[in-house]
Amino acid sequence: MENEIEKLTSDDQKILLEVLFNQHYEIEIISSELNDIESGEKSVDKDTYRQLVSLYDRFRQK
């Protein structure tokens, strides 16, 4: 997946993030990823998992 993002210009990356928030999908995609991890379908290192949980909590508190 890393190369998908590398193919994008920084402008493309910025507009994708803006659209993600404009369309209010930020919580949905993080919770889907956390579900995949917690159901064992996907494995990530501890730091990545912690980062995802922290983002999820921050977005929920908005």
Interface residues toward its own copies, by CB under 8 A: 1-2, 4-5, 8, 11-23, 25-26, 28-30, 32-33, 36, 42, 48, 51-52, 55
Which residues have CB under 8 Å from 20's CB, separation 6+?
A: 26, 29
How far is C-alpha 40 from the geometric centre of its chain's CA atoms?
17
Nearer to its own copies, 42 or 60 (CB): 42
Instruction: Give just the sign of the alpha carbon dihedral 8, 3, 24, 17.
Output: negative
Nearer to its own copies, 5 or 60 (CB): 5
Q: Report the nearest approach of its own copies to the CB of residue 1 (Å).
A: 5
